[in-house]
Every structure is written in structure tokens, then in C-alpha cells.
Amino acid sequence: MKDVTQLTEGWSLRHEDALLPARVPGCVHTDLLAAQVIPDPFIGRNETEIAWVGRQAWSYVTALTHDSPHERTELVFEGLDTAAEIVLAGETLGTTRNMHRAHRFDVTGRTGPLEVRFASAYEEADRVRALTGERPNVYPEPFQYIRKMACSFGWDWGPTVVTAGMWRPVRLEHWSTARLAQVRPLVTVDGATGHVELRLRIERTEQGAGRPLTVRATVRAARGATARGTEATAEAAAPDETAASFEQAGAFEETKTFAAAEVSFEGDETVLRLDVPEARLWWPRGYGDQPLYELDVTLLDAVERPLDVWRRRIGIRTVELDRSADAHGTGCTFVVNGVRTFARGVNWIPDDVLPSRITPERYRTRLTQAADANVDLIRIWGGGIYEDDAFYDICDELGLMVWQDFLFACAAYPEERPLREEVEAEARDNVVRLMPHPSLVLWNGNNENLWGFRDWNWEAPLAGDSWGEGYYLGVLPRIVAELDPTRPYTAGSPWSGSWDHHPNDTRHGTHHSWEVWNRQDYAEYRASVPRFVAEFGWQAPPALATLRRALPGEELAPDSPGMLHHQKAEDGNGKLNRGIERHFRLPEGDFDRWHYLAQVVQARAVAAGIEHWRAHWPVCAGTVVWQLNDCWPVSSWAAIDGDGRLKPLHHELRRVYADRLLTLLPGDDGPVLAVDNQSGSPWHTAVALRRVDADGTVLRETVIEVVAAPRSVARPALPAELLPAPGSPKEFLVADADGLRAVHFPVPDKEFAYPSARYEVRLEAVPGTSTAVDVVVTAETLVRDLLLQPDRLGPAASADRGLLTLLPGEEATIRVSGCADVDVERVRAALFSVDPA
């Protein structure tokens, strides 16, 4: 049987004339931080002080020893970042130039000093640029010339921290006769039967050439099944953790083999087919359960001695992307197990600019936060990385569909050597690695490059040079069709399906809506109905505790030095301020007020878009908010800030992405009620409507009965007498149903006659804990967008609710966890609401 030795210990990093302890997996920055050679780049303006790290060469050294009776020993690097030379006992084993793929080298019978030498990524990019010629991009960094995480060179939400190192595990594999070089499970469904077609490629030693082999495969379910592949056995989850995860995923009650097959062969490739009768289907969250099957593949020699084992969890389901033409243009609807879905998505960026620090536990925290916001689709953006297997394992369990970009973003990419070979090898590696995951529902060729070619003045400077089109319309779809034909592929995002239409045409395919954030009021989201909104968003600063940690000692102001350094978007603060000014009086000299209003506008802006587009289902079939997470503390579009704290946007996503949504939309003749039901059951509800004066007096009220069929939107007519007068600064409309609330104000906040908000606050103990308290707020007046910022009570504090609008006499309870010794005055200081203009 193949033996695996993890090479995590005994590494050193050369720095000047010293050897520093090194952690593998890791990178130069994490090792220099541990040795206190550099300051934390996330603090203050330290980012600029450590820029030199990315511009010099580095090397890691260790002693390679092994004594194995096997015929072959291979040194395997799961990820080298990026331009590396591997030297063993003074001889070069090979060179690499791609962070996104694995590399293996034959070291049979060879030992001695092992050195991994990393060139500066800038140096490698300059070398490639000299070979291919200049290409345009949207940032002044050379990320398109090197197969490396593009955002390590900085982005409009991220710092420039150009890494190097062995960022994924390193190991020795010892094996004899043959090994499983590639296993590709193609999962399909026919009626009640799931089909698993295994396509296998074998690598043999010289002694193993021509020998008969057998492959045996089983599909079964077991509570103790590991979530990771056998190559990473040292990192596999503990038995109690895997049992718990199987329970979450809808595991079977007892160990059972559902299908088994074997085949004998003498070549290097074979195919094995298994049928799973009465298969339990994997569904996205909210549509059904997520049962996972364990697929075991064992390679045996002629006398049935096991040589190698491959184990993964799979799910049985079908997925299509319906891009049919219709009266509105060209659709873009995910269809899972025959059910058409409105995708409730978020865009994902690397959760740390130093990605080797991202642990499975951190993935689970962040993805659980996404699920808690009623998200059902995660788009992995093309300027980041193909995430670790743990990311996709957790998505499988949580029912989070994954849209995977190939790693191209916001630039023209050369298609010549040496990049072309690397692009193809990288795509093949990652398609094969990720295809077992049922959560993976789409391969996407790039982020914004087709759009960029058309609209960003690339054509003239390119003058006929290659720019990536051959990848997106040629190489990548060919690889997906060859290796993973059970999943859809799209050439890019945005993309209208062909050059017959503008790449970002709202009527065809996917659309990115950035004109609104950049130049307009968020009300303009309601001006169009794209078929699928794959990017849109609005910025806000992170939580106050995050800012205080990142900017110690700074007197915070929107334009204080640290705040500006942690704002990477072009004119970011100008856009934030203009967004506030369209609705509120811009606070002068009151940072706390500015901070609150910026977060309110972010939540309202994103909600306005989603409410409008959901109300136009099925013409619009999904929204993917930019963005879920951050990679450091920064003002950005994220719903979860760089320290993992929830912005009000996260709570608002939970509301607008719930199965049932009540919305009052502005219309030409007054507000329109949308009763949006994305659940699988009819929604019978009584909607209470009230026209209310600013002082809280109810002017008119009624109740209407509404039925919204499963996965549909009902738009009942509103009685004319319930509609506020157009342009009224004193009247507003409230709709309530089944605990949900929608409000409509005819004018911007700064024109509305809000009373000075008055409310009572009391605290109630939470039984069984001393670190949580219920904050009970009773409104004495209209209180618009009441927000408790929990981190003001303590850096570990969190709240279970976001923005609340209360009418006089109404009461709301906010549970605050993670803090102790809280009193009413401290809570009042952490509460904010809309003020009179």
C-alpha cells in the first residue's frame, strides 16, 4: 500500500545570514511575522513598510531523509507560490511557475539537503512580460503575467502583500507497482437511480509495467466517513467531527453499501460504472436535504494486495444552467434536480491575503455565517484562489452551491508560452480535484475580461495581440467538456452568451451592476431587470472594534490617515459620502454618526436591489452580492468585515434572502406590494397595511388576504386610501405579515419629518449564561433603522438582529452575546437610529 509522509517539520527560511524557523504550509510573510522581523501588515500603514518582502528572492531549506522499501518515492508539493526552483543535494529537480497546481518530483533513492528557492513574483512577471509583450489591466500591477493569486498584488478592497512560499502541504509518497494518478467520478441521475461513472488513470513503475491490475469501487454511507481525500490523512477531521458533519448533511442512519463494482485491466486507463438504486438526491439548502455518499476506490495488484486508495464524498444530483431565449432576451437560471431556482448568492474573495492561514475551522465559521444569511450560492471570484478541499466539503454539507471562476480577473491575459501550458495544466488539475463535490454547480471562464475587452479601451493598445479570449471560448470549455461534462460552463461573468450582444447586456445572461455604486443613487437598481445579477454592491466601513484594532491610537475620522489607507477603492470615501448625502444630512465632525449612516446606506442599497430583482422572478433568476467577506480590515462592500464581525448588511441579507419576503416597491402610481415566496409551499397570509403619520398616528388601516404559490411572487392591488400622498414628508406606509415588515417612505430621509427618536431600554438576563443579555427596546415615537452596534459593548460581542423600524408602543428584543457586566447606559451609547434632518 502507498505510504505518505507529511513534510511539515524541520524547515527553515533563509533571511540575510540567518535561518529562521519556518512553518509549512505557510509563506514568507507568516514566518517573518512569527520571527518578529516585520510588523503586522494589517495594522496602521504597515502594509507599505513590508512591501520589500515581495520584491526579493527567498529560499526554504530542510534535510530530506527517507528509507522506504517501495519502488518509487515522490516529493509532492500541493502548492508552491509561485516561481520556484527545487534543488536536492545540489541538483535541480525542477522549476515551477504556478501557485494554483500541484507538482511532483521523483526522489527515489535520493536524500540530502533540500532547498526550495523562490524568485520574486515581480521578477517572474517582468520576465514573462518581456516574452509576451505588454497587456492592459485595471491596476498598475503585473498580476496577469504570473499564475498567482491576483489580489495579492492589491485590489480595490485589499492590500498589496505579494507572498512566496509553500502555501499548501508538502509530502513524500512511497509506492510500488502502480498508483491512482487520476480519478474522475461522473455522477448522473436517471429516474430514481444514481449513476457513478469512474474514469481512472494509472501511473506505473517500471516493474509494474504491463502487470494486470484490479480496481474495486463501492458507494456507501457511514457516519465516520472522512471528509478529505486519503492524500491528506494527517489533516482529516477527527471522528467526532466527521460524525457531526454527516449528521448536518443528512447522513444515513447506518453503514450500508449501495453499489459495488470492480474491473481488471492491463493498461493505464479504465472505466468503472456503479448504479445507486433509490438514490437520495443532494439539494441546495432550502430545497431539501444534503445526503452524501462515500465513494471508495481501491487499486489492487494481481494477487489482490491493495496498492492505493482514493476516497471522497459525493452527492447525487443534476444541474443545468438554462440559457434559453425567451421574450425578455436570454435567460440564466440554475435548475437543480429539475427545479428552477432563484439563486441567493454572495461573492467570495480569499478570506485572508495570506491564504495559508485559512483553516478548515475558519472556512466553517465564514460559510456558516453565509448560510445563516439564507445564502444558497457562493461565487468564488476569479482574482483569488481555488480554495482548499475543506471549503467545498463544508459547502457540500451546508447545501451551498458553488460557482467557481477560473482564475482570470480584470485584465488582458497573454495566451502565448509559457502561460498557455500553465493555464491548461492548472485547469486540468483543479477540474479533476473539485469535480467530486455536489455543491459545485458552475465553471466560469473569467471575471469581467470579456466586458473589459469591449468597454475598457483595450482593443487599440492590444492591436491584435492575444488577450484571453482563446482561453475563455476555447481552452477552458474544451477541458470542462472533456473532464467534467456533467456541469455547465460559461465563458465569463458578465457574459451575454455570444458577441451578438454586449457582454454586459441586462437582457442576456449574467450582468454586473456597478454604475449605480460608482455614480448613482441606489434607487437606480430599480431601473432595470437583468436576467441574473452576478455582481453588485455598496461599501461601508467595518465595525468600530475592527477599526480600533487596526488603527490603534488614531483619532478616527472618515479622512484620517489610517482610514484612508484602509480604503482602497478609487474615490471610495467620496462615493460613500455621496451615497449618504442623497438620503441624509452628512455629519460634520461626528465619526460615530457617519459610521452608522454609511452602514445603514449599505444595507438599504443592497436590499433595494435584491427586493426589486426578486420581485421580478422568474425574469431575474438570481443575485450575487459583492461581497461576503474581507481579507483584512478595510472599508469595503463586504457583509462580514476583516475581523469576522457582521455588518448590518449581513442581517439585512438574512431578511431579503429568506424564503418569504414582504416588499413595498416604489411604483409610478405609488408603492407596490410584492409577496415573494421562494419556498416549496404556498404562502397564505394576511397582510396588515397601515398609513401612518410621522407622529405615529394611524391614518388608515386594513388587512388583505394574499396567497403566493410556491416559488412565485404575488402582487396584490393596494387600496388607494392606504397610499401616502406622493411626495408627502409626513406619511408613510407599513405592511406586516407573519412577523415580516416592509415600509415605504415617499421622500428621502432628509426630507421626512422624523420626530426625535425616543425609546426605553431595559435589560433582561438570559437563563443559563452570564455572557448574554436581552436588550428590550420600547419605542415611544417612530424609530427608523434602530441599530445596536454590539462591538461597542465589547470586542467579542455580537447581536442577533440588525436594522429595526419600530412604531410607537412597539417592543423589540435584541440578544447580545459575548459580553458581561453590561448596563443600560452602555447599551444606550451603542444604539443609533435615524435623526430628524
- Please identify every residue annotated as catalytic: 448
Prior bond to 188 cis, omega within 30?
A: no
Residue 322 CB neighbour total at 10 angstroms? 15
Q: How far is CA 270 from the centre of its chain?
A: 36
C-alpha cell at 393: 466539503
Query: Which amino acid, residue 446?
Result: N
Q: What is d(CA 215, CA 756) in angstroms, rounded to the nearest whole number?
A: 75
C-alpha cell at 494: 458578465
C-alpha cell at 40: 503586522
**Residue tagged 491610537 (cell numbers):** 553
Tell which residue, 94, 53, 78, 80, has the closest CA to residue 149.
Answer: 80
C-alpha cell at 569: 477603492
Tell which residue, 140, 77, 84, 94, has the closest CA to residue 116.
Answer: 84
List phi, psi (to 5°) of 692: -125, 140
- For residue 113, how many C-alpha atoms fall within 13 Å in the half-sphere facing its CB? 9
DSSP string, 64-89: E-----SSEEEEEES-EESEEEEEET
Q: Which residues contact 99 (CB under 8 A, 6 or more apart)?
A: 79, 80, 81, 82, 147, 148, 149, 167, 385
Q: What is d(CA 735, CA 493) in angstroms, rounded to the nearest whole number?
A: 37
**Residue tagged 455604486 (cell numbers):** 517
**Residue tagged 391614518 (cell numbers):** 699
C-alpha cell at 713: 411572487
Instruction: Quote helix, strand, coil % in the chain, to nearest 5.
Output: 25, 35, 45
Q: Are 341 and 284 contacting, i.e. CB atoms less than 8 angstroms apart?
A: yes
Angle in degrees, 0-180, between the axes of helices 572-581 and 591-615, rounded to the nearest 10 = 80
For 288-349, where are the alpha helices, taking DSSP H only?
none
For 678-736, where are the alpha helices, taking DSSP H only?
none
Q: Are 654 and 625 contacting, i.e. CB atoms less than 8 angstroms apart?
A: no
Q: Are 540 and 597 contacting, i.e. CB atoms less than 8 angstroms apart?
A: no
Q: Which residues contact 332 (CB under 8 A, 6 or more apart)?
A: 321, 322, 323, 509, 510, 531, 532, 621, 622
Q: What is d(CA 257, CA 239) in angstroms, rounded to the nearest whole number?
A: 20
Q: How far apart are the first and last CA of the chain?
A: 75
Q: What is d(CA 671, CA 745) in angstroms, rounded to the nearest whole number?
A: 9
Q: Are 371 and 395 contacting, i.e. CB atoms less than 8 angstroms apart?
A: no
Task: Say how many residues make up the chain.
Answer: 837
- Cα 800 to Cα 39, 76, 739, 828, 833, distances in angstroms: 35, 45, 16, 17, 17
